[in-house]
Structure 1
């Protein structure tokens, strides 16, 4: 596996409760952010269930190579992709099982990175995102590695003329997430990595107020701990009205 450093930071921001959660597991090389939905109680429970379930599964299969998986292997996926797929499907199952009473509407987005040698598996549901900043000949290039599962993105992809996201009246409508459907599975793919790359996993409390050029400038400047806190702080100063969470991973070798 590439050598790397990683850091995470979350901030309640202008909300009364923090419905974001994150997983930072450098030992297994697994990182995730989750943005809960369904009222403050439901949101907090759903995002926490998501990251706790992911952590338990990855640690379990790492310790016991013969552990029974909760789902059969998908022959169209590699073993590493199957592991990520199973972990997120299990998190979805846990949230679905808890959707009762006051928690009946809870759900969560998820954005996950699993590092594998000189590549990574990127998986997501919802509008939490993963970016990669890479130094190219002409300068640093920021690439968004996930595509939002949202009404806005669905309309845009369908060729419908839509205003900028900040001016769209249904900007918070998510079309896929953990919780609403028991058979939900993540969108996932493999990306290649180079020494010097930086990855950012973040909730929409960060991406809403910060344009890509600002994210790129902040992401490339300084140690990951400082970068993480600065990204969250700048999103807050830019007017974010949501919880704000970021994980920054720097590939160092």
Structure 2
């Protein structure tokens, strides 16, 4: 029986944007671990960039996992440690509000998990259709979900950027997840709200379709900058290509490095 494995073509960009004087976004691309993430720091010069980097540094220590549940458990453990580290930093700065939103993709063999906290997003491009996998943890989204406001009102909500979750802000980080099975040519986009604040889903789809991962990231960044980029902008794109191993010798000799294109 054939044993499906995947190769990953990854692209990534990050930029200060046109208004901010420094970049509080951070990202991680670690196909050897099966982890990609974007963290968007909040806290300005008090340490938003440190909060985002803390998440990256902690998650980098996951090491190799034995299964999809094991990978997710290790990931959540590192996020919990980052949450504690950030809260310690906040306490040292007079309990200043310091934290970071998070969007992550975890892959083990043919299983994927999308995890998020805040308004950084995860999208999936599959069979030509773009779907937002994550659901924003924002005041506007909560009001929309409760039926208090309409979709049009949510789009123009005066407190549209008020988030309700972030790593480091509360005693425990509350992370949402969606899991699934990979298909050949699935393409994921992880991004900070600095990108989605200027680009609609149709814009994103048109710039992702038919381009290599890095070229698509650069196209998304260029268009966001052209539209004013009022915040830091970060995008990570992961394109998954099926590799079928058919012989027992190949299966025995398969290593994690084979996952990297």
Quick check: 1:81–1:188 contact (8 Å CA) kept in 2? no
1:239-250 → structure 2 map (5 Å cutoff): 239-250=228-239
In the other structure, the counterpart of 1:106 is: 98
| Contact 1:166–1:208 (Cα < 8 Å) also in 2 | no
Q: Are residue 80 (structure 1) and residue 71 (structure 2) matched?
A: yes
Q: Which residue of 1 aligns with 2:188?
A: 199
Instruction: Name the residue aligned to 1:126.
Output: 118
**Is 2:134 the partner of 1:146?**
yes
Q: Tell me the distance in 2 between the aligned counterparts of 1:102 and 1:229.
A: 39
Tell me the residue number matched to 2:81: 90
Residue 32 (structure 1) aligns with: 37
What is the CA deviation profile of residues 176-208 of structure 1, one whole-angstrom value per residue up to 9, with x for unaligned ones?
A: 111111222311231221111110000001111
Unaligned runs of 5+ in 2: 243-261
Question: Which protein shows a greater Rg?
Answer: 2
Contact 1:47 1:107 in 2 (8 A): yes
Aligned pair partner of 2:162 in 173, 193, 203: 173
Structure 1 residues 42-81: aligned runs within 5 Å: 42-56=47-61, 58-59=62-63, 62=64, 78-81=69-72
CA distance in 1, matches of 2:37, 2:111: 16
Aligned residues, how many? 234
Aligned to 2:50, the other structure's residue is in SS state helix
- For 2:258, the equivalent position in structure 1 comes to none
Shift of 1:233: 1.2
**TM-score (ref. length: structure 2):** 0.84
Task: Tell me the distance in 1 between the aligned counterparts of 2:153 and 2:9.
Answer: 34
2:149 is matched with 161
What residue number does 1:232 align with? 221
Q: Is 1:131–1:145's contact at 8 Å kept on the other side of the alignment?
A: yes
Show CA shifts across 1:50-93 (max 9, x none). Answer: 1111112x13xx39x8xxxxxxxxxxx93333222212212211
Counterparts of 1:78 and 1:217 in 2: how far apart (Å)? Answer: 34
Query: 1:165: how far off?
Result: 4.6
SS in 2 for 1:96: helix
Is the partner of 2:60 in helix, strand or coil? Answer: helix
In structure 2, C-alpha distance between the alignment counterparts of 1:212 and 1:52, rounded to whole Å: 31
